[in-house]
Amino acid sequence: MQNLEAFRELINTPKKIVITTHFKPDADALGSALGLAGYLRKKGHHITVITPSDYPKFLFWMPNNEEVINYEDYKLRGKSNKLIAEADIIFCLDFSALSRIEAMADPVKQSDAIKVMIDHHTFPEDFAQFSYHDTKAAATAQLIFQLIVLLGDESLLDVAICECLYAGIMTDTGSFRHPSTTPAVHRIVADIMEIGVNTNLIHRRIYDSTTAERLNFLGYVLSEKLVILPEYRVAYFTVTEEELKRFNSQTGDTEGIVNYGLQIEGVVMSVIIVDRPEAVKMSFRSVEEFAVNQIASKYFSGGGHKNASGGKTSGIGLEATVEKFIGILPEYQAELLAVPI
Ligand code: 5GP
Ligand code: MN
């Protein structure tokens, strides 16, 4: 972090702090927020975590989850806006473009609070007075861990904090298989295990806590909705609003399905296109040098990492989104075929 000394000074006296993270937080977003909250509470600050939306049930086990305010909760909207307006500091975690907090963007922008951005996504916007940004970091949770160590506060790390941070590192590295998994990541995890986190338990809480209904949905999408375009080395899935309803799909139920496309030998890019009420949402995954964040930002108002990105279309519907996606593939064909597999 640049200005580490000024940052240390800033958090040296008790402050009113709001911590937020991106819309539809994943384990890294929520784990970073609750891990940082646990640390800052020990430093004597008043902390509120406000998420721009709800998030999957498989994250509810995180310590202090019950204190998180969902900004979409209209009964609490006044309270949320007051907390944001009156905060001394607002931490923005696991995102670096204000558009990613949707309706919270305006109140956060308008607040006089000092903004601190901690993130590992590409192309950060310049909206924060303090930033700790590293696109090479495997997870924002890794940056939170490193920041606490940089501040000389490793003695404040405890099981509750580290459970949250471990969840972020484990999921964003795809359980330590993505190329972002460096020796530094394994060293941090070794420290986390020594602090006493039961890593096997965290893994099971996240990955082995599904419902039969969700497994049926997964089976249906894999068997009925997979399209392979061998000439492009692309696999994609589509999910309609009717299918989401039919399988009683909950927030988080489509997460991870996109990764199955990459299990097919020869596939370089996998995409899932889901017709959600608010927009047609897309998740992109790729291998090696093929950069999906380019496609997500150029054509689908999104972005993310080289090998994992998200995007959306609005107003054109599912079918036209699929057509648009297929229409851009010739532009990338040479690049897709050049990837070593
Ligand atoms: P997912 O496919 O899991 O929704 O997202 C994959 C990655 O891309 C995550 O790191 C996520 O934060 C990022 N991402 C998803 N949607 C967007 C978006 O609209 N804009 C940007 N910049 N990143 C996104
Ligand atoms: Mn992340």
Whether 64 shows a pLDDT value over 90: the answer reads: yes
Instruction: Decide the pairing of beta strands 89-93 and 114-119.
Output: parallel
User: What is the Å distance from ligand 1's center to 308 Cα?
Assistant: 7
Spatial distance between the Cα atoms of 190 and 157, rounded to a whole number of angstroms = 13
Characterize 118-127 residue by residue with b for buried, 16 or more Cβ atoms within 10 angstroms of its Cβ, and e for exposed: bbbbbebeee
Domain finish residue from 169, 184, 207: 207
User: What is the Å distance from ligand 1's center to 182 Cα?
Assistant: 22
Of all ligands present, the nearest one to the C-alpha of 98 is 1
Same-domain status, 129 and 257: no
Residue 252, pLDDT score: 87
With beta carbons less than 8 A apart as the criterion, state whether 90 and 10 touch: no
Q: Which two tokens stand for residue 106?
A: 């305006």
| Test site for ligand 1: of 143, 309, 312, most ligand atoms within 8 A of the Cβ | 309
Identify the domain containing residue 216 by its residue range. Answer: 212-338
Same-domain status, 51 and 119: yes
User: What is the Å distance from ligand 1's center to 26 Cα?
Assistant: 10
Whether 224 shows a pLDDT value over 90: the answer reads: yes
Q: Assess whether the C-beta atom of 306 lies below 6 angstroms from ligand 1.
A: no
Same-domain status, 128 and 272: no
Q: Assess whether the C-beta atom of 252 lies below 6 angstroms from ligand 1.
A: no
User: What is the Å distance from ligand 2's center to 175 Cα?
Assistant: 13
Residue 169, pLDDT score: 98
Same-domain status, 90 and 67: yes
* Percent with pLDDT over 90 in the chain: 97
The average pLDDT across 71-93 equals 98
State the ipTM, two decimals: 0.94
Whether 1 shows a pLDDT value over 90: the answer reads: no
Same-domain status, 117 and 99: yes
| Closest approach atom of ligand 1 to CA 24 | 4
- Identify residues whose C-beta is under 5 A from ligand 2, the ion: 28, 94, 140, 172
Q: Atom 17 in ligand 1: which residue has the minimum CA distance?
A: 310
The average pLDDT across 247-267 equals 94
Taking CA atoms, 83 is separated from 34, 48, 79, 301, in Å, by: 17, 8, 6, 30
Residue 246, pLDDT score: 95
Q: Atom 2 in ligand 1: which residue has the minimum CA distance?
A: 283
Same-domain status, 169 and 227: no
Domain finish residue from 187, 207, 227: 207
- 283 beta partners: 272, 310
Same-domain status, 231 and 312: yes
Phi-psi region of 139 (alpha: psi -120 to 50; beta: other; left: phi over 0): beta
Instruction: Decide the pairing of beta strands 16-21 and 89-93.
Output: parallel
pLDDT classification of 250: cutoffs 50, 70, 90: confident
Same-domain status, 138 and 287: no
Same-domain status, 178 and 237: no
Q: Assess whether the C-beta atom of 96 lies below 6 angstroms from ligand 1.
A: no
Spatial distance between the Cα atoms of 38 and 18, rounded to a whole number of angstroms = 13
CATH number reported for the structural domain that contains residue 334 in this entry: 3.10.310.30
Q: Assess whether the C-beta atom of 307 lies below 6 angstroms from ligand 1.
A: no
The alpha helices in 130-273, defined as continuous H runs, are 140-150, 159-172, 183-195, 199-207, 212-224, 241-246, 257-262
Residue 232, pLDDT score: 98
pLDDT (tens digit, 9 = 90+) per residue, 164-186?
999 999 999 999 999 999 999 99
Q: What is the pTM of this model?
A: 0.92
With beta carbons less than 8 A apart as the criterion, state whether 22 and 91 touch: no
Mean pLDDT of the chain: 97
pLDDT (tens digit, 9 = 90+) per residue, 106-127?
999 999 999 999 999 999 999 9
CATH number reported for the structural domain that contains residue 194 in this entry: 3.90.1640.10
Residue 267, pLDDT score: 98
pLDDT classification of 251: cutoffs 50, 70, 90: confident
**C-alpha angle 161/163/164, rounded to 5°?**
70
Same-domain status, 244 and 200: no
Same-domain status, 191 and 223: no
| Phi, psi dihedrals of residue 317, rounded to the nearest 5° | 85, 175
Whether 325 shows a pLDDT value over 90: the answer reads: yes
Spatial distance between the Cα atoms of 91 and 17, rounded to a whole number of angstroms = 8
Spatial distance between the Cα atoms of 309 and 270, rounded to a whole number of angstroms = 11
Spatial distance between the Cα atoms of 74 and 77, rounded to a whole number of angstroms = 5
Same-domain status, 225 and 87: no
Q: How many domains does the chain have?
A: 2
Q: Atom 21 in ligand 1: which residue has the minimum CA distance?
A: 303
Of all ligands present, the nearest one to the C-alpha of 139 is 2
Residue 321, pLDDT score: 98
Q: Assess whether the C-beta atom of 302 lies below 6 angstroms from ligand 1.
A: yes
Closest CA to 158 of 70, 41, 61, 268: 41
Instruction: Decide the pairing of beta strands 308-313 and 303-304.
Output: antiparallel
Report which of residues 34 and 250 the model is more confident about: 34
Domain finish residue from 207, 226, 255: 207
